[in-house]
A and B are shown apart, each in its own frame.
Chain A
Amino acid sequence: MTDFLLRQMRHGIWANERLLERCRALTDEQLDLTVPGTYGTIRKTLAHIVSAEEGYLVRLLGSLLHEPPLREPDLTLEGIAAHIAHVTNAVERLFAKGSPDPDRVIADTPLRRAGAPRFEMAAWAPAAQFVYHGIDHRSQIDTILSTHGLETLDLQIWPYAMELGASREVKETR
């Protein structure tokens, strides 16, 4: 059975990639659109999603994905694409030897700055946060696009499952 978290993380990456493709068709001015109540501009929010995902994976893997690590990013779309590739690679590495133990206690992260508080947590927490955080912020980007009359994308599990062949429409009634 494919690990459920792996399925969800792969869906998150798929959704980020779809959203990035959508953003490539926007002008610079459109990428800088926002609406009150959201994280920020479209571009900044997408960079924030990917940067946070790298952070969760660094904590889960116990090592940096690359040097120097990504902090407070001000990324171009090409930069975002490059970091999505890092996330994809790290997710597959995380599950390469089977399902990680969700109850393993992670004592710290290599990304912690000097003097910053240390958190000990069960491994399921950053893994679940990876999934939740992306959905939350992609929803905000969807709201920004919609508010400004721009075409939105269906990033739910349904179209993802269709693409994978895990769901298909049945025309005839059985």
Chain B
Amino acid sequence: MSTAPMLRQMRHDVWATEMLLERCRSFTMEQLQLTAPGTYGTIQKTFAHIVRADEGYLNTYGLIPQPFLELSDDTPLEQTASRLARVRDAVEQLFRSKEHDFDRRIHDERRKLDLELWVPLAQFSHHGSDHRSQICTILTLHGLDVPDLDVWAYATAKGASVRF
């Protein structure tokens, strides 16, 4: 049976955040506090923001309870990584359950919105990619190596794309 495209997209997203976190684990505290104009904030805070938001999107489906990851300029990378592992598990859990009707409309009391269930999942992918792009801009601006986080790299790592 085919893997749902939505699940693939979310797995890529979690993988990309993990790869980028791994890249930054060896950074000094000063490097983690680097930023660039026009971006969300420091590297460290942006990571926390990505993962905290992931938790919020998955909370919509009853998968991750509050409180979410604390958002600050010095949220430890280890703590962010630990919460990201929980996000990864929740993504798998979401797709292990019975077929979801992502076109169903629900009332989301936390956001004070009525919304269709596909919306937070699409936002999950968009939000992560958007802010990882900002972290990559910060790294490049400061002369630091940037890992390849696109789907080509992911597909190659998973054996789904082969060069001849």
Contact = CB atoms under 8 A, between A and B. Distances in A.
B164 interface: yes
B38 A145 contact: yes
Interface in B91-149: 101-103, 105, 107, 109, 112-116, 118-119, 121-123, 125-127, 129-134, 136-141
Contacts, number: 171
B122 A168 contact: no
B12 interface: yes
A8 interface: yes
B155 A143 contact: no
Nearest to A150: B38
Interface residues of B, number: 53
Interface stretch (A23-31, A63-71, A133-141): A133-141
Given A102-B3, A156-B123, A35 B161 contact: no
Given A1-B103, A118-B163, A143 B121 contact: no
A46 to B, nearest CB: 15
A76 interface: no
Given A8-B125, A158-B119, 18 more contacts: A1-B103, A2-B103, A4-B5, A4-B122, A5-B5, A5-B9, A120-B162, A133-B151, A140-B137, A142-B130, A156-B126, A158-B123, A167-B113, A168-B113, A169-B112, A170-B113, A174-B107, A174-B109
Interface of B: 2-6, 8-9, 12, 36-39, 101-103, 105, 107, 109, 112-116, 118-119, 121-123, 125-127, 129-134, 136-141, 150-152, 154-155, 160-164
